[in-house]
Structure 1
Amino acid sequence: MTTQLRTLLFFGILLVVVVVALYLHLAPSGQESLGEVACTEEAMICPDGTGVGRTGALCEFTPCPNQESFTGELIAQGDQYVLSVASPLTGMGEVTYALPLIVSDVTEAEALLGNIVTVTGSFTTGNSLRVTTLSSAENQPNEAGVAQGTLAVGESALIGAVRITFVGVEGDSRCPIDVECIQAGALTVSVTLESDTDTLNTLMMSDQQPLPFDAYEVSIVSVTPEAVSTKVLGAANYRVTFQVSPLPSVDSAFEQYIRVNIASLSPAKTVLGGTFYITSIRQTSDTSAVIQYEDGHIALTADVVFTKTSDGEIKVEEFIIRRGSGF
């Protein structure tokens, strides 16, 4: 073999070795050749404070853990709707958490911009929430189950679990703020209360005790504007804030005692051979309650004060029928 031929053979083999080496160095690994991608190792904080990482062919963040609902201010950032909620790290304050929303009903979202809203939905990728429901957080119960809402005459709103319709103003005996009065007076309004099971058309006064309705009690907590002696208010001027609260639980021993002994406890007696029975019990403290009872002919409301011994025995200390409660 000539020297020239040996030289060509040497460089040919060297070229093959270099090509093979380059191929092995640049070719994708076994896992990557199956479609997996090495994503950057970083974490995103979710609304609940947990973190998620990137995954998949596009290296998107995995969906955040879902929650039953989110409440915050609905704002717009360009074409994106965002829910500004408490920071999962610091709570409410200067630092807030911007939760991107995927909204299908743009008209509804536009109407609620700048308001505190409650959102339900599910996360798609990362922290983008695909919205299922979007509603104003006004009139929604707080942690204690108490909800408030303000209505004008003719308006209706679901306040907590009770729909209240402000039908009209029946009278206004409130003391004007520029006059000294012996009594404070009250505003009397007609309302319709509706729950999942009950409907009640009734009158309410701004100074009355909460009105039991279904599993709730409804009251008037404020009225605007204030009465002034020099100005007559029209019905359209009034704004009434209603409050809906869950009925306090009733002591079971007291309830049983009062139901069994109502006939002997009541200072008033039945008429036309009727029999008293309890229609409502609202416990107002550990030792007091308001009860309503009737016999089919007369209906009465009474304030009851009672004690309960360490062994569970009930003793009624006071039983006072409210004036004007019978008919």
Structure 2
Amino acid sequence: MLNPQARFAALGLFMLTLLPSGSCDFLGLFPSPAVHIQLGQVFQISMGQTALLPTDGLSVTFKDVLEDSRCPVDVVCVWAGNAKVTLDVQQTGKATQTLALNSTLDPREAAYEGYRIRFEDLMPQPRSDRPIRREDYRLSLSITK
């Protein structure tokens, strides 16, 4: 029979062997796979996920929701509210740039290396009876040249 310290060490070693295999994906330790996109088409990415435009070497990563004051769908509001997100954008061989885009306020779109990146939608819509978990956000964007 192993003493408690040895059992803890054995469990830790076992967990470390699982991490590289992706077996702990359900814990949210690994980002979602990248989404391949095309110019001019609306696409959707989850928090932490990257969209790739392979033909141009462009990547866009959904980093964070800085603000979500959108009116809940089950409430009548005098103002629609706003959602503000941050993205990391990079083209092969170029510096990464962090962009902040809004759903209602300006800027709703931004320029990067000749591309226009536009905020299209953020899901899910807020509800008054429950907060949105960070990992549940899905951002719709479009990219044009």
Distance in structure 2 (CA, Å) of the matches to 1:195 and 1:137: 15
Identity %: 23
CA contact (8 A) 1:224 1:240 kept: yes
CA contact (8 A) 1:155 1:166 kept: yes
Structure with more relative contact order (C-alpha pairs < 8 Å, separation 6 or more): 2
Write the deviation string for residues 52-111 of structure 1: whole angstroms up to 9, x where unpaired: xxxxxxxxxxxxxxxxxxxxxxxxxxxxxxxxxxxxxxxxxxxxxxxxxxxxxxxxxxxx
Report what 1:175 is aligned to: 71
Shift in alpha-carbon separation, 1:244–1:205, aligned structure 2, 3 A: same
Report what 1:122 is aligned to: none
Higher strand share: 1
| Structure 2 letter corresponding to 1:148 | V
TM-score by length of 1: 0.31
Report what 2:100 is aligned to: 203
| Structure 1 letter corresponding to 2:45 | L
Matches within 5 A, 1:73-152: 139-141=37-39, 146-152=40-46
Matches within 5 A, 1:1-327: 139-141=37-39, 146-159=40-53, 161=56, 162-196=58-92, 197-207=94-104, 208-246=107-145
Unmatched tracts of structure 2, length 5 or more: 1-33
4+ long deviations beyond 6 Å = none
Structure 2 counterpart SS, 1:236: helix
Query: Larger Cα Rg: Structure 1 or Structure 2?
Result: 1
Report what 2:29 is aligned to: none
Unmatched tracts of structure 1, length 5 or more: 1-135, 247-327
Write the deviation string for residues 228-266 of structure 1: whole angstroms up to 9, x where unpaired: 1111001101000111011xxxxxxxxxxxxxxxxxxxx
CA-based RMSD of the aligned residues comes to: 2.2
| Structure 2 letter corresponding to 1:151 | I
TM-score by length of 2: 0.65
Shift in alpha-carbon separation, 1:137–1:191, aligned structure 2, 3 A: closer
Shift in alpha-carbon separation, 1:138–1:200, aligned structure 2, 3 A: closer
Distance in structure 2 (CA, Å) of the matches to 1:225 and 1:137: 19
Shift in alpha-carbon separation, 1:239–1:150, aligned structure 2, 3 A: same
Q: Give, in angstroms, the shift of residue 149 of structure 1.
A: 2.2
Distance in structure 1 (CA, Å) of the matches to 2:35 and 2:133: 30
CA contact (8 A) 1:188 1:205 kept: yes
Shift in alpha-carbon separation, 1:231–1:220, aligned structure 2, 3 A: same
Structure 1 counterpart SS, 2:140: strand
Count of residue pairs brought into register by the alignment: 107
